[in-house]
Structure 1
């Protein structure tokens, strides 16, 4: 089996065609991993994954959980499979709409390396999802701002919903070696070692910069589409513009089997 990977005309993302989800051999797995690292988000139009195929495809990239692999998450989640690995996101639950820029589960001690989403029921119009390329966003910063965030850590979490965990604000991708911004508006609460004013202003500046349209891709869903994204170098936003129409998703969250968390970037010579 051969697959066709086509880059989208955007800051990230590619479509994958020709994948037989019942026959995931080593060659296909290698091709998918290479495309995953290169494009950061892979879209599988109308692939219509069964739950078994969903788990098998996600497992090519790591260990699966519904959401978190530790006790830092205090939210309630609904799963659909016996093993509790497939999360159900239904628009009837306001929490599931996720209409804010975020990177998944960054409050965990080991944030996930990625997620695989299967669209079961898309609204007749609206409900698109957008992703940001945080590598391109880092590269687009001025040298003085890069210098200001060198070596600092950021606190992630929300009181009452999660625990709090610190991670480097600038990380390096373990596969590509690229430097990345690792803060997000959804879960990052502060930058450590700064006053409240300094932290809040700099964090807003970074988030505003990252969320510029130039760093994004936008996907219009159809029933049966799937999307696989690299959580280490992207953020995403589920656009809530479909009113009372129904939107239902199955999703697995993918973790590095080694247990590795975000890797701090080495000092940069500017």
Structure 2
């Protein structure tokens, strides 16, 4: 290897090693008090950059989730902005229960996260046409909410061990409540609705919206004892109705032994509008599949 090539490799490695998540201090944390953390790709990547919003679980944090996932490092390698919202609640959960957060521009944590994307577009050279969300547990619940409440912002979403959008709605819950509302019937997989009812719940989050809806990738373990497995099928019912899809193509032992993949609509596991993964014997929560997420988002092949 030539000296100049070796030097370039060392510089690139050092850049990746130094890449870290930083608090975005000039973000106006409104309408709620969520903190915004972000990692911007190196200058060698011309913008505007895709944006991946990664939403942490209860009892988690932006920095903790960034350490448990690889979106910061992958953003440095593939040229996208990684945003990690940080919950304001004492228990680290996000508000997916209040009417405010379940209503387009209604307030709540969902609007604060949408405002983080707006900030990234305006200040960090983000691409408004390539915005994606991924989350685990409470973060998965919020990612589903973002897909329903802000379909004009998010183009695709990947959720790990979540519940349908609006499943945690709690009468009287407010956007300032700490901790956010908890719905036992939903968490326990006892809230069963028709596909039409779930679909209407999403459509009512943004009345009158008739634009393109986000694509969804959904992971859930059959042995999940926190957000129980029936929520997997309820999510598929919801989004297949919203997207006008039916008759999934199922493949067993894909992408690993014991998992079953379900593809709805035209395309493959990377391009279809709705893809589900049922993970046999896996609890709460399903291990993160970052490479699959980025391929589903169209950031990588």
Using the size of structure 1 for normalisation, the TM-score is 0.28
| Structure with greater contact order relative to length (CA < 8 Å, sep ≥ 6) | 1
Using the size of structure 2 for normalisation, the TM-score is 0.26
